[in-house]
Structure 1
Amino acid sequence: MSNVVLITGIGGDISQGVATILRENRPDLYLVGVDIHAQHGGHLFVDHFLLVPQAGDPEYLDTIKEIVRKYSVGMVIPMSEPELTATLPFPELASGVKWITAGQRVVKAGLDKLETMNSLMDLGIPIPWTRPARAGRPIAYPCILKNRTGSGSRAIFTVADDEDADYLVKRYPDAIFQELVGSAEREVTCAVYRRLDGKVSSLLMLRRLTGGFTGWAKIIKDEETTRMCEAIAIGLDLRGSMNVQLRLTDKGPRVFEINPRFSSTVLMRHRLGYTDVLWAIDEAEGKQVVFPEISQDRIMVRVQSAVIID
């Protein structure tokens, strides 16, 4: 298999985190990064940078296929929801190429937040009530409104009453209303990895958001949450890494979202020893993966840097 790895959306912080991990630990890999523009530092993280159309553009898939062919790409890591949507079903795009994804069932469930809840309900997982905004006003207040697609925690609104609901539905008709569960102080983001042999590992991180991303996180242990993550991973046939977001409540953990990709904590948890990017690459190459034991109460923080380009 070729040692060339294609990373999409290289202008984003998660893609740059993945590229950093690979550059530091796998210098034998040749990294090709793509994005829709060059007004970012993405080219600093890869060996070769290329421009591509937006994922929704009719030319996008043909462009990706041509890059895979021209550069003899051996592995592709789609990094954003629009790119995952455009490249499904993955194996049909280019024969012989390894796609580093969470697997088709997880991706399909995670790309649509209403489908996420339906999939969890089918697995018998307790969920917050969720309904399309077009179906009428919320079941109860307060609740939240968020888009059915996309990622991040920035376009989420607290809905206090009918006036709020009516106003927001006009602006976001394709959104969903969802039960507001627990408190932000008990919000947990869970990195979940399922090996090819079916064994599951979960890393539970109590977190604080900064600008829509995890800025601070502490490792916690919670057996009920761990069992839930394992049930989701097995039930949705996880093939690699996903991110489960939930809140701990008096009634137990309540999942409100699944990210079917590497998440914003990818570099933070890698520094701690939860190296799921490397595990995915190793398994694609036919190597064995051993899960580490991460002790609780370890703390991770996001830091910022800057580079001057002459």
Structure 2
Amino acid sequence: MTVFVTGAGAGVGQSILKSLQLSKVKTRVIIGDISPLATGLYRAQVAYIIPLADDPAYLAALEKICKAEQVDMLLIGTDVELIIFASNKEAFEKTTGTRVIVSDSEAVAIADDKWKTVGFLKSHGFPYVYSALADNADSFIKNAKWPVIVKPRIAARSVGFQIIPNEAELRSALQKDPNLIIQEYLSEEDEEYTCGAFFYEGACYGVTVMKRWLRNGDTYKAIVCREPEMEKFIKAVGTDLRIIGPCNFQLRKSGGEFKIFEINCRFSGTTGAASALGFNVTNALLQKIFFNRPLHPLAIRDAYIFRYWNEVFVPPEEVALLAKRGNLEESRSDTNLF
């Protein structure tokens, strides 16, 4: 099977690579990124430099690669690509013969926009983070408990996240950027969770719950937790959102409730770790779609997860060749692991 993964320079794309290496299905992996300095490009069989997602040539470039490489499945490694593939999935699959794993455009749009996420949760009767946009700031302030937070409606990995201690600083922040969303501050720092879930044809085939500790917006320590009520909650939210494939939910416990503050309709950044512990969504998708093997609930082993830096060593001539030609086969890169 040939699998194309995007986002070689990002943690999600690299995590997908790990899950493919752990799959029982033998795969030939193609990987793409916008920069020849993206680490993951040198850890697959074939690498391609691809345009930015907002480049008009982006979709055509990926269609060309999928046709040339006879790609069986495409797995998306960055948030900005999701809505493009969600909106063009049927045509892309028909043109290339490649199966694209992505939720529909409505689900992606709700997850991408934090204001729409709040509206979805509220309308479906789920707990939600008390929120407002700039034009309703006065009403929000009347009921606010300080501090509060502001962040862009559409962003990932805590980009633009600010803790605001008082009304004056809130009004200043909104004056600088009126497109921010205002939200209550969920202060239980040791009660933040990242959940990965797998949905297929309307059914949920498992939820992972990890309590996590962040560094620069990414999980750098986590522990697998047994939280049946949280798993049930995530399953209900994902089912109502009509998720297809993997999905990531980020939430905190607050006032005895689970409050989701971010949904990502893609693989979690912890996909590689979860796969090593038995919860391998890419393997399940490959087994089901291409071998028609029945899906079974996925389970994960208990463990602490600690992340650390390591290195990939790439011959300089390979980087130069990839930058010049736009593609590279069978990199001779090596790793430095302990």
TM-score, normalised to structure 2, is 0.84
Q: Which residue identity does 2:40 align to in structure 1? A: G
Q: Deviation per CA, 1:288-310, whole angstroms, max 9, x where unpaired?
A: 222244455x2112122112223
How far apart, in 2, do the equivalents of 1:210 and 1:186 lie? 15
Tell me which structure has the larger Cα radius of gyration.
Answer: 2
Q: What SS class does the counterpart of residue 94 from structure 1 fall into?
A: helix
Q: Deviation per CA, 1:21-56, whole angstroms, max 9, x where unpaired?
A: 213435732211111111122222211111111101
Q: Deviation per CA, 1:127-168, whole angstroms, max 9, x where unpaired?
A: 011222354354313111111112112431101112221332
Aligned match for 2:259, one of 254, 257, 275:
254
Q: Which residue identity does 1:99 align to in structure 2? A: V
Aligned match for 1:215, one of 220, 225, 247:
220
Aligned match for 1:238, one of 243, 264, 267:
243
8 Å Cα contact 1:134/1:174 also seen in 2: no
How far apart, in 1, do the equivalents of 2:150 and 2:44 lie? 37
Of 136-145 and 31-40, deviating more is: 136-145
Alignment of 1:17-32 (within 5 A): 17-25=15-23, 28-32=26-30
Cα 1:110/1:66, change in 2 over 3 Å? same
Q: What SS class does the counterpart of residue 213 from structure 2 fall into?
A: strand
How far apart, in 2, do the equivalents of 1:206 and 1:133 lie? 32
Q: Which residue identity does 2:182 align to in structure 1? A: F
Q: Does 1:289 align with 2:288?
A: no
Give the RMSD, CA atoms, in angstroms. Answer: 2.0
How far apart, in 1, do the equivalents of 2:281 and 2:134 lie? 36
Q: What SS class does the counterpart of residue 119 from structure 2 fall into?
A: helix
How far apart, in 2, do the equivalents of 1:135 and 1:36 lie? 39
Q: Which residue identity does 1:10 align to in structure 2? A: A
Q: What is aligned with 1:55?
A: 53
Q: Does 1:165 align with 2:166?
A: no
Q: Deviation per CA, 1:232-270, whole angstroms, max 9, x where unpaired?
A: 121111221111111112331111111111111111111
Structure 1 gaps of 5+ residues are: none
**Number of residues paired by the alignment?**
307
Cα 1:103/1:300, change in 2 over 3 Å? farther
TM-score, normalised to structure 1, is 0.91
Q: What is aligned with 2:86?
A: 88
Structure 2 gaps of 5+ residues are: 316-338
How far apart, in 1, do the equivalents of 2:160 and 2:202 lie? 37
Of 148-157 and 131-140, deviating more is: 131-140
8 Å Cα contact 1:224/1:252 also seen in 2: no
Q: What is aligned with 2:193?
A: 188
Q: What is aligned with 1:115?
A: 116
How far apart, in 2, do the equivalents of 1:29 and 1:53 lie? 24
8 Å Cα contact 2:249/2:264 also seen in 1: yes
Q: What SS class does the counterpart of residue 155 from structure 1 fall into?
A: coil
8 Å Cα contact 2:25/2:287 also seen in 1: no
How many angstroms does 1:220 deviate by? 1.8
Higher helix share: 2
How far apart, in 1, do the equivalents of 2:306 and 2:198 lie? 22
- Larger RCO of the pair (alpha carbons < 8 Å, separation 6+): 2
Q: What is aligned with 2:62?
A: 64
8 Å Cα contact 1:247/1:254 also seen in 2: yes
Q: What SS class does the counterpart of residue 307 from structure 1 fall into?
A: strand
